[in-house]
Amino acid sequence: MDPATLTLSAMAQQLHAGSLQPTTLVDACLARVAARDERLHCMTQVFADEARVRARALEADTPGGPLWGIPWVAKDILATRLGRTTCGSRMLEHFRSPYDATVVQRLEEAGAILLGKSNMDEFGMGSSTENSAFGDSRNPWDPERVPGGSSGGSAAAVAADYCGFALGTDTGGSIRQPAAFCGVVGLKPTYGRVSRYGQVAFASSLDQIGPITKCVEDAALVLQAVAGHDPRDSTSLREAVPQWGTELESVPAAPAAVRVGVPRNFVQHGVEAAVRADFAHVLDTLRAAGASIVDVEIPHARYAIAAYYIIATAEASSNLARYDGVRYTRREDASDLGELYARTRTLGFGREVKRRILLGTFVLSSGYYDAYYLRAQKVRTLLRGDFDAAFAKCDILAMPTSPTPPFRLGERTQDPLQMYLSDVFTVPANLAGLPAASIPTAVVDGLPLGVQIYAPALEESRLLHAAAWLQGLLGFERLTHRGRA
Ligand code: GLN
């Protein structure tokens, strides 16, 4: 069996047993990249030589923890000293970070092997990876379709067995939606659970880094390795990091009386038939396994997309002001400072990024600030209250991850509003700071679908247990290996 197709947990088992060597595993993963990436274009860079050197160095030592010797892929928004950190943008095409992001450093210390960096929508803005300055990524299940976004390269790389796991970032769904589109697991932790130091900022009050993996147990292992307080990120939480990996070894076969909340009104509109049917099947499966399905209301969820696209663009317009042609790498010739700014930004940013900067500048401008930005912040507070009330009646919430199956390349690029609607079920978690995960449910017409679970803040344990349980009930692991072959 090709070791690249194993889950992270299975790779780790074999590495520790000595039946698999890090160098063999790295070579197997690189062979997958070589065979598939010309077509799929998930990667912006591959560090083949460096990965082999590191695998050899590890091999000379004794195996460490569960990530020891595991090849992984970083979304190209995470600062790495190795290679460039492009954010999918011409603006940073040649940018070399002088330091590693905290997550990169922690994975390095855990013995994981950085294989390369994955393609993404420019600065994380998009839901299809069609907004990358370096070309579109494709879905391994059907290369005519998008892998989702903005961490589309990361999700596709995991689905195509380039690596044991990938990291993505999620500002409004960018881990969960591509995970659903590619038939893999994606988890966005509680805001502040994982250090954002070295993650290039898109919308700082929403951004979180999280794992994209082939199964729930793998997500627990990666999250455990990267989570925890970091003095270099003032928003990172001081809460202790549970042993999620070990906890999942004892997932109860049927957790006693789980109450699964379903925001019915919210999930009724604009959901395609295949997704609706699949979601109904998931609820039936849960019910049959002993869970009780509870109707809950999230009344302000209907404003979530609007609030998100105000807050995220406002914060982006401020964060991206630093790309002025003076600092970082891109600088166009100009005769004065105004022209330098204008020319650098005109040539350095793509269309969607420009659109967001314009929107964000508008909603923050005097006269409009109260009408848009302030109101969006109020929606955010109301939404948090909705979730608090809902979690008084249930343990977890369930809803589809995306209202549609993976769509075709080009299908939505001309209609930004249509693209923004992909995020309807994912952005509420970011606005409220809650942990949420997408897990694969089924393959319908050759395309994977996903279901999403939300848990209260800091309840990643509950989220992972529920996800592992549901994964077992749905038996998706067998399907992925058939479909992705
Ligand atoms: N699709 C959303 C957007 O375009 C979310 C992106 C993200 O989570 N980085 O903003």
Phi-psi region of 243 (alpha: psi -120 to 50; beta: other; left: phi over 0): beta
Residue 150 CB–ligand 1 contact under 6 Å: yes
What tens digit of pLDDT does each residue of 120-165 get? 999 999 999 999 999 999 999 999 999 999 999 999 999 999 999 9
Q: What is the pLDDT of residues 157-211, one digit of tens each?
A: 999 999 999 999 999 999 999 999 999 999 999 999 999 999 999 999 999 999 9
Look over the chain and give the mean of its residue pLDDT values, rounded to a whole number. 95
Please give the pLDDT value at position 1.
Answer: 87
Cα(200) to ligand 1 centroid in Å equals 14
pLDDT class of 485 with cuts at 50, 70, 90? very low
Residue 104 has pLDDT above 80, yes or no: yes
422 CA distance to ligand 1 middle (Å): 9
Q: How far is CA 236 from CA 50, 66, 123, 168, 190, in A?
A: 31, 24, 21, 17, 10
pLDDT > 70 fraction of the chain, expressed in percent and rounded: 97
pLDDT over 50 (residue 420)? yes
Q: Give pLDDT, residue 253.
A: 65
pLDDT band with cut points at 50, 70 and 90 for residue 482: very low
Residue 385's pLDDT is 98
Domains of the chain and any CATH numbers? 3-252+402-474 (3.90.1300.10)
- What pLDDT score was predicted for residue 417? 87
Report the distance separating Cα 144 and Cα 467, nearest Å: 30
Cα separation of 171 and 201, whole Å?
10
- pLDDT band, very low/low/confident/very high, at 43 (cuts 50, 70, 90): very high
Report the DSSP pairing between strands 113-118 and 185-188. Answer: unpaired
Sheet bearing 71-75, strands edge to edge = 43-46, 113-118, 71-75, 165-170, 208-213, 185-188, 436-444, 447-454, 396-400, 259-262, 292-295
Residue 315 Cβ < 6 Å to ligand 1: no
Site to probe by mutation for ligand 1, drawn from 118, 123, 150, 196 as the one with most ligand atoms within 8 Å of Cβ, is 150
- Quickly count: other Cβ atoms within 10 Å of residue 365's Cβ: 12
Atom index in ligand 1 nearest the CA of residue 206 equals 8
Exposure string over 420-437, b if 16+ CB within 10 A, otherwise e: bbbbbbbbbbbbbbbbbb
Strand runs (DSSP E) across 66-196, as ranges?
A: 71-75, 113-118, 165-170, 185-188
Enumerate the β-bridge partners of residue 188: 436
- pLDDT for res 477: 65
Q: What is the pLDDT of residues 334-374, one digit of tens each?
A: 899 999 999 999 999 999 999 999 999 999 998 999 999 99
Measured from the CA of 422, which atom of ligand 1 is nearest? 1
Strands 292-295 and 396-400: unpaired
- Residues designated catalytic: 75, 150, 174
Q: Is the CB of 428 under 6 A from ligand 1?
A: no
Which ligand 1 atom sits nearest the alpha carbon of residue 203? 9
How far apart (Å, rounded) are the C-alpha atoms in residues 264 and 268? 6
**Beta carbons within 10 angstroms of residue 326's beta carbon:** 11
Burial label, 73 (beta-carbon count in 10 A; 0-12, 13-18, 19+) = buried
Residue partners of 100: CB distance under 8 A and separation at least 6: 79, 80, 81, 108, 198
* pLDDT exceeds 80 at position 252: no
The model carries a pTM of 0.97
CA dihedral 422, 427, 429, 430 (to 10 degrees): 140
- Cα 324 to middle of ligand 1, angstroms: 23
Q: Are 103 and 226 in contact (CB under 8 A)?
A: yes
Residue corresponding to tokens 């072959």: 485
Measure the CA angle with vertex 87, ends 108 and 399; round to 5°. Answer: 85
Q: Is the CB of 76 under 6 A from ligand 1?
A: no
Is any atom of ligand 1 closer than 6 Å to the C-beta of 314?
A: no
Task: Give 50 Cα–ligand 1 centroid separation in angstroms.
Answer: 31
Strand stretches in 69-188, DSSP E: 71-75, 113-118, 165-170, 185-188
In the chain, the amino acid numbered 43 is M
For residue 448 and ligand 1, the question of a CB distance below 6 A is answered with: no
Among 76, 77, 87, 127, say which to mutate for ligand 1: greatest number of ligand atoms within 8 Å of CB: 127
User: What is the 290 CA–ligand 1 centroid distance (Å)?
Assistant: 35
168 DSSP β-pair partners: 210
Asked if residue 75 has pLDDT above 60, the reply is yes
170 Cβ inside 6 Å of ligand 1: yes
The closest alpha carbon to 220, from 7, 446, 431, 445, belongs to 7
For 170, list phi and psi in degrees, rounded to 5.
Answer: -135, 110
* Distance in Å, CA 431 to ligand 1 centroid: 12
Ligand 1 contact via 168 beta carbon (within 6 Å): no
Give residue 483's pLDDT: 45
Which helix (H) or strand (E) segment holds residue 260: the answer is strand 259-262
Burial 450-476 (b: 16+ CB within 10 A, else e): bbbbbbbbbbbbbbbbbbbbbbebbeb
pLDDT band, residue 269 (cuts 50/70/90) = confident
Residue 230 Cβ inside 6 Å of ligand 1? The answer reads no
- Kindly state if the Cβ of 132 falls inside 6 Å of ligand 1: no
Which residue's structure tokens are 């848990």?
Answer: 455
- For residue 298, the SS3 value is coil
How far away, in angstroms, is 215 Cα from ligand 1 center? 23
